[in-house]
Structure 1
Amino acid sequence: MSSSAPDVTVIIGAYEAMPYLIRCLDSVEAQTLPAGRIEIVAVDDGSTDGTGEYLEEFAARTAIDMRVVRQKNSGGPSGPRNVGLGLARGRYVFFLDADDYFGEEALERMVAMGDRAGTDVVLGKVVGVNRGAAKSMWKQTVERADLYSSNIKFTLSAQKLFRRDLLVRLGMKFDEELKTGEDALFTMEAYLRGNGVSVVADYTCYYLVGRDDGKHVTKSGSYLLRFDSARALMGLIAAHVPPGPKRDVLMVRPFVITLLPQFGPALLRQSDEVRKKKMELAAPLLEAHWSPGLARRLKVNERLRLICLEKGRLDLLLDILQFMKDGKKPRVVRKGLRGRLYLDYPHFGEGAALPLSAYEVTVPEWIGRKRVDAPGRQSMAVFLRRLSGKARRAARSARPHTPRRAHEV
């Protein structure tokens, strides 16, 4: 093993990863970053399908420094990642899932970005293979992305480049008590406590693979685990961001992505016992972290459901969910001198049930194929279009007039 520290340690936690592991490791070996600047730490988490044997075989022939650890199954990805992190020597670490693979220039581009920008986290563009992948955060490459105004808050998976010094200095590890959402907790902490986040969006760095056998779905288990995840992420945000607009922006992530799926139309099929338990689990989260500022950052159907939870009104929630399940589209209603827009979901206008403000359009909504904007946003969009049109007309009028030649058409 080389005595000098590599640029990046690729940490691979592997469980029952064959045959996907073959392409995964080949993609590390194919990196344009020289082999001497890469280290692999692979942890076989009790596989029985030949994963451990293949890791050892690959380590024996690759030019990349590689260490293989074989251990009993830990029951989740956190344990293997923590073992790998404890053995890593690189300036950066990257957590590569054994089912997935890199683009050839991924590590070279991400390391260069981290060095150039001085940031502690680098996001490389991710695309899905046989599965979906988030897209909204890959619109442009930026050396320093703002956590609050950008969409990086909606990509909290562990598949990113982290500066190891940050993780060591803060004593960061994956929470092995959490069985789902542990990567979101880890990544959000790095976003909040690190020295900036970069985005490499002009090259596909990471291919997120959907396995045909379904074994990539590691987030199975009781719905109780989702509430554990939401509670942990909300608590982390509250601990590091004081109350106000910035906290509200970040709280959208755990409320909408982690908590709300437990209160979708599937709730209609669940038992009264499960419904009651979910309401009980949600109540303290709403009491601790719900705010008017957060409410106005949500779509109407999201806000309505959460207000039902806050008020403990399962009956109203079920009415809204039935409306959604039936595929009904709410009418757009304009009210008041300011022309505010509302969506008439169930119990709209009844006063005592849910407040009128719960139905107000405050962020862009889609009703079928029609986009509906809050009046203020509509006005600004119209103003910007008009301003752009005036600029184009002014530019055309400023051009010198050139007589058209006879052959021009």
Structure 2
Amino acid sequence: MTENTPDVSVIIGAYEAMPYLVKCLASVEAQTLGADRIEIVAVDDGSTDGTGEYLEEFAARSKVATRVVRQANSGGPSGPRNTGLALARGRYVFFLDADDHFGDEALERLVTMADRAGTDVVLGRTVGVNRNAAKSMWKETVERADIYRSNVKYTLSAQKLFRRDLLVRHGMRFDESLTTGEDALFTLEAYLRGSGVSVVADYTCYYLVGREDGKHLTKTGGYVPRFASARALTELIAAHVPAGERRDLLMMRPFTVTLLPQFGPVVLRQPRDVLLAKMELAAPLMAAHWTPGLAGRLKTEDRLRLTCVALNRPDALVDVVTRLQQGPPPERVRRWGREYLAYPHFRDPAVGIPDSAYEVRGAPGHLGVTRRRARRLAGRVLRRAGWARGST
């Protein structure tokens, strides 16, 4: 690295980003890391609302070195991010969406963490402004998170600090063929290829802004791109993680976040031919990656729905979802130390859904656990009683 190498290249892909872009850029200028340690690579993706002109005006007056590229619209965020990544010079890169903005100390804290921990990806606490943001991974600051067992696998957006050497070494780019989930694929690959993932949870680094005009790419597009995203993510996991517990743990992310919503209440509102098309799209994913280890980690209701998909039982799925939405709580059935929730088609031989799909796993009322605890407690009581009798 030369003396003039910035610590961070902030890559901003911008399309029709006014007036949000004003606050976005101001938040980069306000960074405590210092203007001399930051560069901005801003890519106007064919805007017509003055975004490109504002970027050029900003570049001409800002103390932060700013390079502006104006290109024809690419149709999604991957194109401008790839353009910016190819031009970046920093030790680290951060993909900042033009609608969003930083907390003042964000880059200083993220770089400090990456340098101290030697990790290749750093997540900064993110909060939503007029929209929801993931919360479960911000409980504590962690120098090295377990990507398999922690909740970092549930935040795969691109708004993170990445060590640029990692991305260059592996030729990593955003998949421009995907219209949704391209950031999840990129980020998870960085998790898997990198030297570790850190979490900065004690400071709000990033503000995820909900636009008043509702223009969020994640809200657009039909169901077909969702299945393409799930397929790409499952294939990435399978390519990097051998079959077994760790693969099952990572597979929970595409199965619960991407696939499961396609087979929830929406099936009661969509035409039957759409449900059948979704089942067909899901079939190869279920055949390749739906395992007992993965199924056993899901809540009963989620496991049951996905089992219906895996067995190609669309009518049973509709019955289960209808009961979940409208019916009373299911009867709890206990048999041979196990507990089941008797949702529709429980032990119906004509449908053939296995009991394991209905089983309550690890719940407080799980009789297998309860009886083992009772036996241990009884043993302790008897031992203490025997000792007491012998001592009198």
TM over 0.5: yes
Counting only pairs closer than 5 Å after superposition, residues 9-408 of structure 1 correspond to structure 2 as 9-326=9-326, 328-336=328-336, 338=337, 340-351=338-349, 353=351, 354-362=353-361, 374=366
Alpha-carbon displacement from aligned partner over 1:163-191 (angstroms, at most 9, x marks no partner): 00000000000000000000000000000
Percent identity over paired residues:
70
Alpha-carbon displacement from aligned partner over 1:75-109 (angstroms, at most 9, x marks no partner): 00000000000000000000000011100000000
- Distance (whole Å) between structure 2 residues aligned to residue 94 and residue 43 of structure 1: 14
- Distance (whole Å) between structure 2 residues aligned to residue 300 and residue 17 of structure 1: 43
Alpha-carbon displacement from aligned partner over 1:273-300 (angstroms, at most 9, x marks no partner): 2122111111111011110000001111
User: What is the Cα deviation at residue 121 of structure 1?
Assistant: 0.2
Q: Which amino acid aligns with 1:356?
A: D
Q: What SS class does the counterpart of residue 39 from structure 1 fall into?
A: strand
Q: What SS class does the counterpart of residue 144 from structure 1 fall into?
A: coil
Q: Structure 1's 70 and 318: CA in aligned 2 closer, same or farther, altered over 3 A? A: same
Per mean C-alpha deviation after superposition, the further-off stretch among 29-38 and 208-217 is 208-217
Structure 2 gap segments, 5+ residues each: 375-392
- Distance (whole Å) between structure 2 residues aligned to residue 47 and residue 227 of structure 1: 29
- Distance (whole Å) between structure 2 residues aligned to residue 327 and residue 114 of structure 1: 50
Q: Which amino acid aligns with 1:110?
A: L
User: What is the Cα deviation at residue 317 of structure 1?
Assistant: 0.6
Q: Which amino acid aligns with 2:340?
A: Y
- Distance (whole Å) between structure 1 residues aligned to residue 365 and residue 204 of structure 2: 33
- Distance (whole Å) between structure 2 residues aligned to residue 374 and residue 21 of structure 1: 53
User: What is the Cα deviation at residue 131 of structure 1?
Assistant: 0.8
Per mean C-alpha deviation after superposition, the further-off stretch among 77-86 and 321-330 is 321-330
Contact 1:297 1:363 in 2 (8 A): no
Contact 1:43 1:83 in 2 (8 A): yes
Q: Structure 1's 12 and 358: CA in aligned 2 closer, same or farther, altered over 3 A? A: same
- Distance (whole Å) between structure 2 residues aligned to residue 164 and residue 302 of structure 1: 38
For normalisation by structure 1, the TM-score amounts to 0.87
- What is the root-mean-square deviation of aligned Cα atoms in Å? 1.9
User: What is the Cα deviation at residue 363 of structure 1?
Assistant: 5.2
Q: Structure 1's 361 and 72: CA in aligned 2 closer, same or farther, altered over 3 A? A: same
Alpha-carbon displacement from aligned partner over 1:290-318 (angstroms, at most 9, x marks no partner): 10000001111111111111111111011
Alpha-carbon displacement from aligned partner over 1:198-246 (angstroms, at most 9, x marks no partner): 0000000001111111012444112110110000000000000011000
User: What is the Cα deviation at residue 326 of structure 1?
Assistant: 1.2
User: What is the Cα deviation at residue 192 of structure 1?
Assistant: 0.5
Contact 1:126 1:205 in 2 (8 A): yes
User: What is the Cα deviation at residue 330 of structure 1?
Assistant: 2.5
Q: What SS class does the counterpart of residue 328 from structure 1 fall into?
A: coil
Q: Which amino acid aligns with 2:139?
A: K
Structure 1 gap segments, 5+ residues each: 365-371, 383-409
Q: Which amino acid aligns with 1:80?
A: P
Contact 1:348 1:359 in 2 (8 A): yes
Q: Structure 1's 272 and 352: CA in aligned 2 closer, same or farther, altered over 3 A? A: closer
- Distance (whole Å) between structure 2 residues aligned to residue 376 and residue 21 of structure 1: 57
Contact 1:362 1:373 in 2 (8 A): no
Q: What SS class does the counterpart of residue 203 from structure 1 fall into?
A: strand
- Distance (whole Å) between structure 2 residues aligned to residue 69 and residue 327 of structure 1: 56
Please name the residue that 1:407 is paired with: none
Q: Structure 1's 218 and 348: CA in aligned 2 closer, same or farther, altered over 3 A? A: closer
Contact 1:13 1:44 in 2 (8 A): yes
Alpha-carbon displacement from aligned partner over 1:251-280 (angstroms, at most 9, x marks no partner): 010011001111111112222221221111
- Distance (whole Å) between structure 1 residues aligned to residue 145 and residue 218 of structure 2: 30
Q: Structure 1's 41 and 327: CA in aligned 2 closer, same or farther, altered over 3 A? A: farther
Alpha-carbon displacement from aligned partner over 1:298-347 (angstroms, at most 9, x marks no partner): 111111111111111111011011112215322333332x3x22222111
- Distance (whole Å) between structure 1 residues aligned to residue 371 and residue 124 of structure 2: 36
Q: What SS class does the counterpart of residue 4 from structure 1 fall into?
A: coil
Q: Which stretches of structure 1, 4 residues or longer, exceed 6 Å deviation after superposition?
A: 376-382
- Distance (whole Å) between structure 1 residues aligned to residue 296 and residue 22 of structure 2: 47
User: How many matched pairs?
Assistant: 372
Alpha-carbon displacement from aligned partner over 1:43-100 (angstroms, at most 9, x marks no partner): 0111111111111111111100000111111000000000000000000000000011
Contact 1:180 1:219 in 2 (8 A): no
For normalisation by structure 2, the TM-score amounts to 0.91
- Distance (whole Å) between structure 1 residues aligned to residue 330 and residue 201 of structure 2: 37
Q: Which amino acid aligns with 1:289?
A: H
User: What is the Cα deviation at residue 11 of structure 1?
Assistant: 0.3
Q: Structure 1's 376 and 116: CA in aligned 2 closer, same or farther, altered over 3 A? A: farther
